[in-house]
Amino acid sequence: MTSILRSPQALQLTLALIKPDAVAHPVILEAVHQQILSNKFLIVRMRELLWRKEDCQKFYQEHEGRFFYQRLVEFMASGPIRAYILARKDAIQFWRTLMGPTRVFRARHVAPDSIRGSFGLTDTRNTTHGSDSVVSASREIAAFFPDFSEQRWYEEEEPQLRCGLVCYSPELLTLLLLSGRQWKQPEEKLLILPRPH
């Protein structure tokens, strides 16, 4: 594995999943999406997919043998999910804080305004997933976005996103740069985002 050199100010990547319980409810899905935007995450990539049971088993193999494993695998393969690659300073910890505790009962008491505190149903149907470390973020991003090169992103896209004027296209559900090779959309379709901190 090649080491990725990052400046001290470099944006960090994390994987965020919106689970089937939230994707099945458009109002909740949109509310979570708006939380991502309002908390100044940059949406680097996004896709919706139906996850095959075999892929779920591989993704959660570290939990194999635990009491919740089979229930989690069945649930994650039960309907569409939305996967994001998110970027911002301290993205992993910030996303985990925004999600709230894994256990919904605890989330409702300790972090009632968190995503899980607001929308979670059970410890399995808890709306979201997020990477817990840089190593797991790289592994999980590769599982959902096999064509995405983290190395190339840090070399080519990250400096532009960190330093450039970034906008979000609600129509395209993606980030665009207001300068450079990527942007040619009418401004009325764009939401201008502040530079990430």
- Known binding-site positions: 19, 68, 96, 102, 116, 126
Catalytic residue among 25, 33, 109, 129: 129
CA atoms within 13 A on the CB side of 69: 12
Q: Which SS3 state, helix, strand or coil, does residue 108 take?
A: helix
Q: Which SS3 state, helix, strand or coil, does residue 101 take?
A: coil
- 109 given a catalytic annotation: no
What gap in Å lies between CA 163 and CA 23, rounded to an integer?
33
- Which residues are part of a known binding site for ATP? 19, 68, 96, 102, 116, 126
Edge to edge, the sheet with strand 174-177 lists: 174-177, 166-169, 191-193
Evaluate the CA torsion angle 62, 68, 71, 77 in order and state its sign.
negative
Asked if residues 123 and 35 have their Cβ atoms less than 8 Å apart, the reply is: no
What gap in Å lies between CA 149 and CA 166, rounded to an integer?
21
Evaluate the CA torsion angle 171, 48, 43, 157 in order and state its sign.
negative
Q: Give the residue numbers annotated as catalytic, written as ranges.
A: 129
